Homo-oligomer: A and B are copies of this chain.
Amino acid sequence: MQAYKNRSYANRGATFEHLVDMANTKYRNAGVADIRKVPTPVQITKSKGRLIEGRKETAEWVDYAGVYKGRAIAFDAKETSKTSFPLDNLSGHQYRLLESWAEKDAVVFLLVSMKKFGEIYLLPFEVLQKAWEVAKNGGRKSIAWETFKNECIEVTSKDGYTVHYLDALEA
Contact = CB atoms under 8 A, between A and B. Distances in A.
Interface stretch (A65-73, A109-117, A121-129): A65-73
Interface residues of A, number: 39
B66 A55 contact: no
A101 interface: yes
Interface centre among A31, A54, A57, A74 (most CB of B within 10 A): A54
A41 interface: yes
A72 B67 contact: yes
A170 interface: no
A107 to B, nearest CB: 9
B106 A67 contact: yes
Contacts of A52: 42, 53-56
B38 A39 contact: yes
17 contacts: A28-B100, A31-B103, A34-B104, A36-B60, A38-B39, A39-B39, A39-B42, A39-B57, A42-B42, A51-B53, A51-B54, A51-B55, A67-B74, A67-B104, A69-B105, A70-B72, A71-B71
Interface of A: 28, 31, 33-34, 36, 38-42, 44, 47, 50-57, 60-61, 65-74, 97, 100-101, 103-106
